[in-house]
Amino acid sequence: MKEAIHVGLLGLGTVGCGVYRMIHEHQEELFHRIGLPIQVEKILIRDIHKDRKIIMPDDLLTTDPEDIVNNPNIDVVIEVMGGMEETKELILRALRRRKHVITANKDLLALYSGELLSVASEYGCDLFYEASVGGGIPVLRSVVDGLSSDRIFKMMGIVNGTTNFILTKMTKEKISFEQALADAQALGFAEADPTSDIEGLDAARKMVILSTLGFSMKVSLEDLFIKGISTITPEDIDYADHFGYVIKLIGIARRDHGRVEISVEPAFISKDHPLASVNNEFNAIYIYGEGIGETMLYGPGAGQLPTATAVVSDLVAVAKNMRLGVTGKSALIPYNKKQLKNDEEIFAKYFLRLLVKDEAGSFAKLSTLFAEKNISFEKLSQQPLKGKGMAEVVIITHQTTRKAFQSVLSQLRDMQMVYEIKSGYRVEGE
C-alpha cells in the first residue's frame, strides 16, 4: 500500500507555481478526497538561479528532466512547461516508464493526442488534459463523463480569452482593433506576439481537442476553417449592434448524420443568445445534445489558479484511479471514421457589407447575382455616401451554403460596380 502520491512537475512558470501552491496549501482537502497525501518530489526548471515569487525547498528543483522521467519514486508527471517536440518526447518517456501524465499543453495535444493516448493505454497509464481547453472550466470532463450517455451534435463557444477581451473593449468602448489589442497587451491578456490568438490558431487547437472528444473522431488542424479577428472594424461592431448582434470569435463543431464541420471565425451572435453576454477574458462552451438539449459551461479561460485548479483536479482523478487499480482504462481512443462536410453541406446565415456604385441598376444586379445562387435576403440596408458616388450596402442572408456564399463573394470581386467588399461574417445563435 502506497503511503503517498509522488509528483514530478515539468515547468515552474505561472501555471506551475499555481499547481505547486495548490498542492502545498490544500493538503487537508486533497487527503480527504484521495485518502493519501500528495508530495511534490521534483520540479524541472530552466534556470536554477532565477529569482522566484514562491518559496520552496531548493532540493526540489532540478534542470535535468531525467530526475523526473527516470525517477522511480515519481508516480505522476505534470507537464506545464509548454513546447512541442522535446515536451512530447518527455511525456512519451514518462508514460513508457509507467508514470501517469497530466498536461495543459493544447498545442501538443492538437497534433499528437492520438499517439500519446495510444502509448498511455499500452502502458496502463492515465493521460489527462482538462486544463488544455477552457482553463478552469471543466468542459472536457463534462463532455467525457457528464454527457457520456448523450449524443452531442453541436458545440459552440468562446475558447480564447484574449480575443474575447479585445472584442469586448471594441464593443463597449468604441475603439479600434489596434487600440484594443494594445490595451490587452498592457494588461497582460495578450502576448507581445499575439498572432496565435488574434488569427484564431489558439482557439482552433482547442476546438480540435474538443471535437475529437465530443464526436469521438480524430480531427486535425487542417480540417478546420479558420479566420481571425484582425480585420474587424468599429463599423462592423456598430452594424452588429444595429441589427441585434454582437461579434465574437466563435469555435463551432457540428455533426449531422456522421459528417462534421469545424470552424473558428468571427460571428454575429444574437444578443438573445447566452454567449453574447460572455465578456472580457471569460470563456464559455455551449453544448447541444440529443438528450440534454442545450447547456452552457462558463468561467475563466486562463489564469494561474483557474488553470491550476483544472490540473490538480486531474491529479485527484489519477490518484483515485491508482487507489482503485483502474489506471489506463479511461483513455478514449476515437472510434468514428472521420467524415468532413464539404462546403455544399455547411449551412449558415451571413452578414455582408460592401461599397457599390450609387447608380441606377446597381442593386438590381446585386439581387440578380444572389438570386442565381438561391440566396435570399433576411435584412437589408442601403445608405448613399454623400459626395462619393457610392452606396454602402449591408445584407444579412437567410440560410445558405458556404459554397454559395463564397461563390457570391468571388463574383462580387469581379463586378465593376463593386468598389470594395468591406466585411463578411457568419451569423449564429438565433
Q: What is the 3-state secondary structure (H, E, C) of 356-403?
A: EECCCCHHHHHHHHHHHCCCCEEEEEEEEECCCCEEEEEEEECCEEHH
Mean pLDDT of 386-413: 94
Instruction: Establish how many alpha carbons lie within 13 A of residue 355's alpha carbon, considering only the half-sphere containing its beta carbon.
Output: 8
What are the angstrom distances between the C-alpha of 55 and each of 25, 40, 362? 12, 14, 70
Query: 389 vs 248, which has greater pLDDT?
Result: 248
User: Which residue has cell 451572435?
Assistant: 269
Structurally, at CATH architecture level, domain 347-428 sits in 2-Layer Sandwich (3.30)
Cross-strand partners of 92: none
Q: Identity (one letter) of the amino acid at 406?
A: Q
pTM of the model as a whole? 0.93
Q: Does domain 5-133+304-324 have CATH number 3.40.50.720?
A: yes
**Domain ranges in the chain?**
5-133+304-324, 139-300, 347-428
C-beta separation of 46 from 81 below 8 A: no
Q: How confident is the model at residue 182 (pLDDT cuts 50, 70, 90)?
A: very high
For the CA atoms of 82, 88, 91, 94, the dihedral, rounded to the nearest 10 degrees, stands at -140
Among 88, 206, 248, 341, the one annotated catalytic:
206
Which of the four pLDDT bands, split at 50, 70 and 90, describes residue 1?
low
Are 145 and 313 contacting, i.e. CB atoms less than 8 angstroms apart?
A: no
Q: Is the dihedral of CA 358, 361, 365, 366 positive or negative?
A: positive
Give 47's pLDDT tier (boundaries 50, 70, 90).
confident
Rounded to the nearest integer, the mean pLDDT of the chain is: 94
Environment class of 343 (CB within 10 Å of its CB; exposed 0-12, middle 13-18, buried 19+):
middle
Residue 245 has pLDDT above 70, yes or no: yes
Condensed to tens digits (0 to 9), the pLDDT of residues 132-150 reads 998 889 999 899 888 888 9
- Quick one: which of 152, 194, 158, 153 has its CA closest to 177? 194
Of the chain, the percentage scoring pLDDT greater than 90 comes to 84
**Quick check: 256 and 416 in contact, CB under 8 A?**
no
| Contact status, residue 296 vs residue 284, Cβ threshold 8 Å | yes
**Residue 142 CB burial class (10 angstroms; 0-12, 13-18, ≥19):** middle
- CATH code, residues 139-300: 3.30.360.10
Same fold, 139-300 and 347-428: no
- Report how far residue 371's alpha carbon sits from residue 305's, in angstroms, rounded to the nearest whole number: 53
| pLDDT 10s digits, 410-424 | 999 999 999 999 999
pLDDT above 90: residue 189: no
The question of whether 174 is a catalytic residue gets the answer no
Please give the average per-residue pLDDT across 52-78, as a whole number: 93
pLDDT > 80? residue 330: no
